[in-house]
Structure 1
Amino acid sequence: MTKLTVYEEFKAFYNKAYSFLMQKEAENNLALGLLNQIAESNKYENPLFILVENGSELEGVLLMTPPHHLIVSFRDGFEDFVETSRQLKEITEQRSIEIPGFIGEKNAAKRFAGIWTSGDNSSLVVHMRQRIYRLAEVKDIPISNGKFVQAEDKHQDLIANWLLGFIEDTPERSIPLEDAKKRANEMLNENSIYLWEVDGEPVSMARSARRTDKGITVNLVYTPKEHRKKGYASSVVAELSRLLLQDFDFCTLYTDLDNPTSNKIYMDIGYKPIIDSIMINV
């Protein structure tokens, strides 16, 4: 019988959830990377840690860092979404937790979200259709004029404004400029932001994030409108991926399926699609 267990102690949850998620390391890069971030810092308030079990068998992992969507990962062939939804509703009601939506493998997340809303699929809103890519080797592609550099403290305001531009181009919730500056400072302290510069002027950026055991994610790829269609995004992502592959076996990234240009860019670099994901608001 399916049973949901809430874990108050992170280490106990981590030990069980991590090994389950590692069975599909690249596909589960979001949850795995988030678990590693939680293990290394206390930046997330009131996280929700739940395991879905059937007897001694682990069937799924549910993870949420409010106010973000609940990450759902189930074993292949899992079917007991009705009981899982029922128990999750009990847990969230008892703890006064609001779940804004779900993110996970497309088919499982859609089925779970439909049952969560009592079969009223008309109330579901697709926040973003995504595809997860994996890269093990960068193709030999043309590189734009310019050079690949690591961002420095002097770039904080630029990165903050580009972060706002990135959010504006996506379905993500907007944030105040001060919050963007804070996030830019955090990323600079992590040494995770890289730029493409032409004649000393930054024209595009990308970030390394969410390491797993053998992989790491590339995200926050952004080029301001005045510099687009010149190959700068391809160049910065290709060079960052090459750099990361010196220490990791593979890179992963998420794309917005409604943006065919970015999907083509990444495939030209060598990224290969491995799974479709979906973010659903409920």
Structure 2
Amino acid sequence: MYKLTQYEDPIAFHDKVYSLLMEDEAANNLPLGLLNTMKTSDKYIDPLLLLVENEDDKAVGSFIMTPPHYLVVTLNVGKDDIQAIAEQLHTFCEDSGMTIPGFVAEKETALQLTHAWCHVTGKGFTIRMNQRVYQLSEVNDIQLSEGKMVPVRSGQEGLLAKWISEFVADTEVITLSGDEALKRAKDMIDNERYVFFWEVAGQPVSMARGARRTENGITVNFVYTPSEFRKKGYASSVVAELSRLLLHEHTFCSLYTDLDNPTSNKIYMEIGYKPVCDSMMITIV
């Protein structure tokens, strides 16, 4: 028998799930990074934090959702137990009026939970993205393109906002209005340390960001190159240089890729990123 408990306090929730998530820190970079952000800022409004415990009161899973994003799932249980957990999750959602738009989890967990959820609810699903989680502890000596990595500066909010909007449209399930993208861009410039452009002759041509710290690592995300600047090695260069910088302060870097994009996966492996696990983003319909 499993028990689901909702937490309002992210610090108390973190204390409960920390040891479980740290069993595979790189693979769990998303839930760990989200919780670390919640502990130190109010960036996420009304997050859902659900602890899954077994009959011995041991934490065996967590559900984390920052609306309107998908439910981030970690479960360390047997396949036969996932149906029972899905039923309890469904009961919780019915009682609380919560809607789950989809799941993000390790591949097998995502598939098993999705099938169990659809069995309980009668809903269907589509696979939004096949993903792979990578980890890097040392950057390979690769050939860099022309140009250099520079921090995004005050005054570049408009360009950063435009690229954020284009990146989100390409990769995420949400959409951003122009005002929301501009607000996010200003926040990155004002409050974050690791937001960089790759510039050629003073012109930004690609970007990458370091965010979502974990105990020993940090995630590389928002890797984006506008279409007119692609196939010139700029993304490889900015990711390699940013990763090298991040490794001065962290033991490893992690990142998610779209597994159906062979070009980006090849680029990251050439830099030195090694596969950790496969993940899936699944939409409930």
When the two structures are superposed, what TM-score results if normalisation uses the length of structure 2? 0.95
Matched with 2:5 is: 5
Query: Residue by residue, what CA displacement relative to the aligned partner does 1:199-230 show, whole Å, maximum 9, x if unpaired?
Result: 11111100001000100000000111111111
Matched with 2:164 is: 163
Count of matched residue pairs = 282
Matched with 1:232 is: 234
CA contact (8 A) 1:214 1:248 kept: yes
Query: Residue by residue, what CA displacement relative to the aligned partner does 1:69-127 show, whole Å, maximum 9, x if unpaired?
Result: 11110126454111111111111111111110110000011110111011789821111
Task: Quote the Cα distance in structure 1 between the aligned partners of 2:123 and 2:270.
Answer: 37
Structure 1 unaligned blocks of 5 or more: none
Q: 1:211 aligned to 213, 232, 241, which one?
A: 213
When the two structures are superposed, what TM-score results if normalisation uses the length of structure 1? 0.96
Matched with 1:139 is: 140
Shift of 1:17: 1.1
Cα RMSD for the two superposed structures? 1.5
CA contact (8 A) 1:59 1:78 kept: no
Q: Which amino acid aligns with 1:145?
A: E
Q: Name the SS of the counterpart of 1:117 in structure 2.
A: helix
Q: Name the SS of the counterpart of 1:153 in structure 2.
A: coil
CA contact (8 A) 1:114 1:120 kept: no
* CA distance 1:121–1:221, change in 2 (3 Å): farther
Task: Quote the Cα distance in structure 2 between the aligned partners of 1:22 and 1:138.
Answer: 24
Identify the range of structure 1 (231-240 vs 172-181) with the bigger mean alpha-carbon deviation: 172-181
Structure 2 unaligned blocks of 5 or more: none
Identify the range of structure 1 (197-206 vs 12-21) with the bigger mean alpha-carbon deviation: 12-21
Task: Quote the Cα distance in structure 1 between the aligned partners of 2:80 and 2:20.
Answer: 17
Q: Name the SS of the counterpart of 1:216 in structure 2.
A: strand
Task: Quote the Cα distance in structure 2 between the aligned partners of 1:121 and 1:276.
Answer: 27
CA contact (8 A) 1:114 1:121 kept: no
Q: Name the SS of the counterpart of 1:234 in structure 2.
A: helix
Q: Name the SS of the counterpart of 2:119 in structure 1.
A: coil
Query: Aligned ranges for residues 42-121 of structure 1 at < 5 Å?
Result: 42-54=42-54, 55-75=56-76, 77=78, 79-118=80-119
Matched with 2:263 is: 261
Task: Quote the Cα distance in structure 2 between the aligned partners of 1:79 and 1:37.
Answer: 33
Q: Name the SS of the counterpart of 2:218 in structure 1.
A: strand
Identify the range of structure 1 (242-251 vs 35-44) with the bigger mean alpha-carbon deviation: 35-44
Identify the range of structure 1 (44-53 vs 70-79) with the bigger mean alpha-carbon deviation: 70-79
Matched with 1:180 is: 181
Query: Residue by residue, what CA displacement relative to the aligned partner does 1:20-75 show, whole Å, maximum 9, x if unpaired?
Result: 11111000000000000000111212211111111232211111111111111012
CA contact (8 A) 1:151 1:191 kept: no
* CA distance 1:137–1:29, change in 2 (3 Å): same
